[in-house]
Chains A and B, each alone.
Chain A
Amino acid sequence: MKISGEHQLKAPVEKAWKALTDPAILQKITPGCERLQPVGPDEFEATLKLGVALVKGTYKGKLALREKTPPESYRLVMEGSGAPGFVKGEATLRLREQEGGTLVSYEGDAQVGGAIASVGQRLMEGVARMVLSQFFRNLEKELGRKKEGKS
Chain B
Amino acid sequence: MATGTKLFGSSIKRREDPRFITGKGIYTDDVKLPGTTCAAFVRSPHAHARIKSVNVVKTKASPGVVAVFTGRDLANAKVGGLPCGWLLPGIKLPPHPALAVETVRYVGDAVAVVIAESAFAAKDAAEKVEIQYEVLPAVTDGLSAVQQGAPTLHSDAPGNICFTWSIGDKEKTESAFRGATIVKQHLVNQRLIPNAMEPRASLASYEPATGDLTLWVTSQNPHVHRLLMAAFVLGIPEHKMRVIAPDVGGGFGSKIFVYPEEVVVAWASRQLGRPVKWTAERRESYMTDAHGRDHITDAEMGFSKDGKIIGLRVKTHANLGAYLSTFAPLIPTYLYGTLLSGLYAIPAIYCEVVGVFTNTTPVDAYRGAGRPEATYLLERLMDLGARARKTDPAEIRRKNFIPADKFPYQTPVALAYDSGNYGPALDRALSMADYRKLRAEQERLRREGRYLGIGFSTYIEACGPAPSQVAGALGAQAGLWESAHVRVHPTGKVTIYTGSHSHGQGHETTFTQIGADELGIPWEDVELVHGDTAAIPFGMGSYGSRSTAVGGSAIVMSLNKIKEKGRKIAAHLLEAAEGDVVFEDGKYFVRGAPSRAKTFQEVALMAYLAHNMPPGLEPGLEATSFFDPPNFTFPFGTHIAVAEVDPETGQVKIVRYVAVDDVGRVVNPMIVDGMVHGGIAQGVAQALWESGVYDSSGQLLTGTMMDYALPKADQLPFFETDRTETPSPVNPLGVKGAGETGTIASTAAVANAVMDALAPLGVSHIDLPLTPDRIWRAIRDAKKGGRA
Q: Which residues of A contact B (CB under 8 A)?
A: 57, 81-83, 85-86, 111-115, 117-119, 121-122
20 A–B contacts, CB within 8 A, in A order: A81-B45, A82-B127, A83-B127, A86-B45, A111-B697, A113-B46, A113-B697, A114-B45, A115-B703, A117-B699, A117-B700, A117-B701, A118-B286, A118-B700, A118-B701, A118-B702, A118-B704, A118-B707, A121-B701, A122-B707
**Residues of chain A with a CB closer than 8 A to B702's CB:** 118
Q: Which of B685-700 contact A (CB under 8 A)?
A: 695, 697, 699-700
> With A and B bound together, what is the CA distance between A82 and B129 in angstroms?
10
- In whole angstroms, how far apart are the Cα atoms of A85 and B127 in the complex? 10
Q: Which of B45, B283, B700, B703 has the most chain A CB within a 10 Å cutoff?
A: B45
A82 to B706, CA, bound (A): 23
Q: Please, which residues of chain A bring their CB within 8 A of the CB of B46? A: 86, 113
Would you list the 9 A-B pairs with minimal beta carbon distance, nearest first?
A118-B703, A114-B45, A117-B699, A83-B127, A113-B45, A85-B45, A118-B700, A86-B45, A119-B704
Given B126, B127, B697, B699, which contacts A118 in the complex, CB threshold below 8 Å?
A: B699
How long is the Cα–Cα vector from A85 to B702 in the complex, in angstroms? 15
Which A residues touch B704, using CB under 8 A?
Answer: 118-119
CB-based nearest A residue for B704 = A119
Give the chain A neighbours of B701 by CB distance below 8 A.
117-118, 121
Q: Report the separation of the CA atoms of residues A70 and B771 in the bound assembly, to the nearest whole angstrom.
A: 50
- For A83, the closest partner residue in chain B by CB is B127
Q: How far is the CB of A46 from chain B (nearest CB, A)?
A: 16
A56 to nearest B CB, angstroms? 12
Q: Is B287 positioned at the interface, with any CB of A under 8 Å from its CB?
A: yes
- The CA of A138 and the CA of B508, in the complex, are separated in Å by 65
CA distance A114 to B697 in the complex (A): 11
Contacts of B256 in A (CB 8 A): none
| Cα distance, A118 to B697, chains bound together (Å) | 12
Q: How far is the CA of A122 from the CA of B699 in the complex (A)?
A: 13
B163 → chain A closest CB, angstroms = 30
A81 to B703, CA, bound (A): 19
CB <8 Å contact, A121 and B127: no
Give a binary string over B462-486; 1 marks a CB under 8 Å from any A CB, 0 the rest: 0000000000000000000000000
Shortest Cβ gap from A91 to chain B (Å): 19
CA distance A83 to B701 in the complex (A): 18
Q: Which single residue of chain A is at the shortest CB-CB distance from B47?
A: A113
The closest CB in chain A to the CB of B42 belongs to A83
Tell me the smallest distance from the CB of A82 to a CB of chain B, in Å.
7
Of all chain A residues, which has the CB nearest B700?
Answer: A118
Q: Report B287-301 CB contacts with A as 1/0, cut-off 8 Å.
A: 100000000000000
- For the side of the interface on B, what is the size category? 20 to 34
The interface residues of chain B lying within 8 Å CB-to-CB of A113 are 45-47, 107, 697, 699
Judge whether B699 and A112 touch: CB under 8 Å: yes
Q: In the assembled complex, which residues on chain A have CB atoms less than 8 Å from the CB atom of B47?
A: 113
Complex interface: chain B residues within 8 A of A114 (CB): 43, 45, 107, 699
How many Å from the CB of A20 to the closest CB on chain B? 29
A112 to B47, CA, bound (A): 12
A111 to B703 alpha-carbon distance, docked (Å): 17
A85 to B133, CA, bound (A): 12
CA A100 to CA B699, docked complex, whole Å: 45
A76 to B702, CA, bound (A): 30
**CB neighbours of A118 from chain B (8 A):** 107, 283, 286-287, 699-704, 707
Across-interface contacts of B287 in A (CB, < 8 A): 118
Q: What residues of chain B lie closer than 8 Å to A57, measured between beta carbons?
A: 127
* Set A82, A117, A119: member contacting B695, Cβ < 8 A: A117
Question: How many angstroms between the C-alpha atoms of A118 and B695 in the bound complex?
Answer: 10
Residues of chain A within 8 A (CB-CB) of B703 are 115, 117-119
A86 to B45, CA, bound (A): 7
How many Å from the CB of A7 to the closest CB on chain B? 29
A13 to B345, CA, bound (A): 79
Report the minimal beta-carbon distance from B459 to chain A, rounded to whole angstroms: 34
How far is the CB of B95 from the nearest CB of chain A, in Å? 24
CA distance A83 to B127 in the complex (A): 5
B56 to chain A, nearest CB (A): 15
Name the B residues within 8 Å of A111 (CB-CB).
697
- Please, how many angstroms separate the alpha-carbon atoms of A114 and B704 in the complex? 12
Nearest A-chain residue to B707, judged by Cβ: A122
Q: Are B283 and A119 in contact (CB under 8 A)?
A: yes
Among candidates B126, B283, B707, residue contacting A115 with C-beta atoms closer than 8 Å? B283
CA distance A143 to B294 in the complex (A): 55
Residues of chain B lying within 8 A (CB to CB) of residue A86: 45-46
Query: What separation, in Å, do the CA atoms of A113 and B45 have in the docked complex?
Result: 5
Residue of A nearest to B286 (CB): A118
A122 and B47 CA atoms in complex are apart in Å by 19
Cα-based distance from A102 to B697 in the complex (angstroms)? 37
Residue of B nearest to A118 (CB): B703
Minimal beta-carbon separation of B116 from chain A (angstroms):
15
Bound CA–CA A147/B435 (angstroms): 81
Residues in chain A near residue B707, CB distance under 8 A: 118-119, 122
A-contacting residues, B117-150, CB 8 Å = 126-127
Find chain B residues with CB under 8 A from A112 CB: 699
Rounded to whole Å, the gap between the CB of A111 and the closest CB of chain B is 6
Complex Cα distance, B287 from A122, in Å, reads 17
- CB closest chain-A residue, reference B45: A114
Once bound together, how far apart are the Cα atoms of A135 and B707, in whole Å? 29
B287 and chain A: residue at smallest CB distance: A118
Q: Please name all residues of chain B whose beta carbon is closer than 8 Å to the beta carbon of A82 when the two chains form the complex.
A: 127
Closest to B123 in A: A83
Q: Residues of A contacting B700 with CB < 8 Å?
A: 117-118
| Cα distance A27–B45 in the bound complex, in angstroms | 27
- B residues less than 8 Å from A83 (CB atoms): 126-127
Q: Which residues of chain B (438-468) have a CB below 8 Å from chain A?
A: none
C-alpha spacing A113/B702, complex, angstroms: 13
A114→B695 CA distance, assembly (Å): 12
Query: Distance in Å from the Cβ of A112 to the closest Cβ of chain B?
Result: 7
User: What B residues does A85 contact at CB under 8 A?
Assistant: 45
A21 CB to nearest B CB, Å: 29
